[in-house]
Amino acid sequence: MQPFEPGNLTKLYYSIGEVADMFDVNTSLIRFWEKEFKIIRPKKNTKGNRLFMVKDIEVFHQIYTLVKLEGYTLEGAKKALKDSKTHTESNEQPLDEVIKKLEAIKQKLHSLKNHKN
């Protein structure tokens, strides 16, 4: 398995072994992070094997970066992820609002164009 690269993730589900290989860690660390970070909720097949989606792997990448590369504690990483999620959610606008704003801009541009002609 290749190291984690978002563009290389083409499957819908990845096994715990595949995820561990992406980050060059043991599967026990993946299970531990899953328990510690409630945002990670893999599906389980009938045998009980964990099946991770791309969004889960992206969260693992954030955790790996914070803990292994930047030296955060687990509590610090949890706080950083929570702050990041809160910041992202507060900046998101519903799609309807964005479309309305873009249509208003379009109307304004058309009126300016017609006014110059």
Domains and CATH numbers, the chain: 6-76 (1.10.1660.10)
On the CB side of 28, CA atoms within 13 Å amount to 0
Per the model's pLDDT, the better-predicted residue between 1 and 21 turns out to be 21
Return phi, psi of residue 22, to 5°: -60, -35
Q: Helix %, strand %, coil % for the chain, to 5?
A: 65, 5, 30
Cβ contacts of residue 69 below 8 Å, gap of 6+? Answer: none
Tens-digit pLDDT profile for residues 39-91: 999 999 999 999 999 999 999 999 999 999 999 999 999 999 888 765 455 45
- Tens of pLDDT along 12-30? 999 999 999 999 999 999 9
Comparing 96 with 86, the larger pLDDT belongs to 96
Q: Is it the case that residue 37 has pLDDT exceeding 80? A: yes
Residues recorded for the chain: 117
